[in-house]
Amino acid sequence: MAIIYENPQLRIETEESEVPWLKLFTQHPYREMSEVPAEIRFEIYDLLDIIEKAMITYYTPDKINIASFGNYVPHVHWHIMARFKEDSYFPEPMWGKKQRESTLTLPSFETFCRQLQSTLKGREL
């Protein structure tokens, strides 16, 4: 896990995975989205949109998965994943039942993260 973006309200972390996977957390440990102040909710949705579009442009995935569960970690956070028909779990979620062995060949995740950081740097949210 590495933090690739952070401001007083939110942070974006990487998740170790075979697919490109980021997590967006609130800095304050809100338990539910309904507890999050409106301005931070809007910021969350704006960042989800930016990340999704960046993943689509960079990776050309078959699908983007965006999920918020928080059962194990009762802290508002979102998972954003680029999914591919050839990944080990597709069409299941990444924490679901493995469907096959896979060795995806994808563009560099590190480069993607640097490009996303550049997009977000200095951004007034």
Domain membership of residue 74 as a residue range: 3-119
Average pLDDT estimate for 24-42: 96
pLDDT digits (tens, 9 = 90+) for 89-100: 999 999 999 999
Looking at the domain assignment, is residue 124 inside a domain? Answer: no
Nearest to 14 by CA among 119, 118, 116: 116
Classified as helix, coil or strand, 10 is strand
Looking at the domain assignment, is residue 103 inside a domain? Answer: yes
Looking at the domain assignment, is residue 49 inside a domain? Answer: yes
Q: Give the predicted TM-score (pTM) of the model.
A: 0.94
Query: Tell me, what CATH number does 51's domain have?
Result: 3.30.428.10
Bridge-based pairing of strands 63-67 and 21-26 is unpaired
